[in-house]
Amino acid sequence: MYYIKRFFCQRITSEMVDIGRYLKLTEAQQIRRSIHHKIRRAFMWQYYFSMMEIKKRHDIKSSQIKALKKRVHEELGEEFINLLAGTRFEICTTDTDISVILVDGTPIFLEKQVLFPTLKAFLSTDCRMLPHHVTVDMGAVPFVTNGADIMAPGIVNLDELIEKGDFVVITEERHGKPLAIGEALYDSKEISAMDQGKVIKNIHYVGDKMWNLEI
């Protein structure tokens, strides 16, 4: 009976601590955290990619482009606004409930309740210069591009402002090429202090079904 009471006391205490931490967050942080929960659910999209086919493709109206930029800023952060630096914006409907947003003909975002960028959005970018980047050594490259999660020993550099739950772009140390998009399991200070263990969940990587989606 003692151990049962102790278990429930620990459980309640833990939940109270989590609630206390949440209440201390700013309104913007609470919104961002809520969005990250939606994004985690959206990662189930990978199930559809093997069967996704483009059905219709049309230009996005100027008023919709403005709304899209606002969504990118709110859901992903200001650092992703530059992905919309183009002259032609299109949206493709598919045979699933996922839409593909093109900028100058390149698939940049997938949309299903929330937005998230595809790796092809970063092909012309030195990702080592990006906010929320995580750079891994060359030994980790074949594992990351095969879908493996990112382990602490393979990281050689990362953005100091990464928080738990953030989107991060995984890149390699020589040329800054994008390898994967992941979700941080810890904040940057915690990751820097770790010498073993999984620290980033691999969500979308070079060569996966999303990467091979043809428009």
Domain limits for position 52: 44-122
CA distance 189 to 174: 24
**pLDDT at res. 19:** 43
Cα 190 to Cα 202: distance, rounded to the nearest angstrom: 18
Looking at residue 193, its amino acid is A
Residue 201, pLDDT above cutoff 80: yes
Beta bridge partners of 181: 169, 204
For 6-15, how does the pLDDT look when each residue is reduced to its tens digit (9 = 90+)?
Answer: 433 444 344 4
Please check whether residue 153 lies inside any domain of the structure. yes
Q: Do 148 and 101 belong together in one domain?
A: no
Q: Do 140 and 88 fall within a single domain?
A: no
CA distances from 129 to 19, 59, 134 (A): 35, 31, 10
Mean pLDDT of the chain: 79
143-196 pLDDT, tens digit per residue, is 999 999 999 999 999 999 999 988 789 999 999 999 998 889 999 999 999 999
Look at the chain and report how many structural domains it folds into. 2
> In 3D, which of 77, 174, 62, 52 has the Cα closest to residue 132?
77
| Non-local CB neighbours of 211 within 8 Å, separated by 6+ positions | 118, 119, 120, 204, 205
Residues 67 and 115 in one domain: yes
58 with 109, same domain?
yes
**Residues 55 and 103 both lie in one domain:** yes
* Residue 1 forms part of a structural domain: no
Judgement on whether residues 98 and 146 belong to the same structural domain of the protein? no
- pLDDT for res 178: 95
Residues 104 and 161 in one domain: no
CATH number for position 111: 3.10.450.120
Is residue 97, in this structure, part of any structural domain at all? yes
C-alpha angle with apex 114: 16 to 36, nearest 5 degrees? 25
pLDDT tens for each residue of 23-54: 455 555 555 555 555 555 555 555 455 445 77
Looking at 122, 139, 160, the residue that finishes a domain is 122
Res 142: pLDDT: 96
Instruction: Tell me whether residue 7 is in a domain.
Output: no
CA neighbor of 201 nearest in space, from 185, 179, 177, 178:
185
103 and 141 together in one domain = no
List, in order, residues 6 or more apart from 106 with CB less than 8 Å away: 120, 121
Query: Which pLDDT score is estimated for 27?
Result: 59
- Whether residue 136 sits in one domain with residue 101: no
Residue 143 and residue 110 in one domain: no
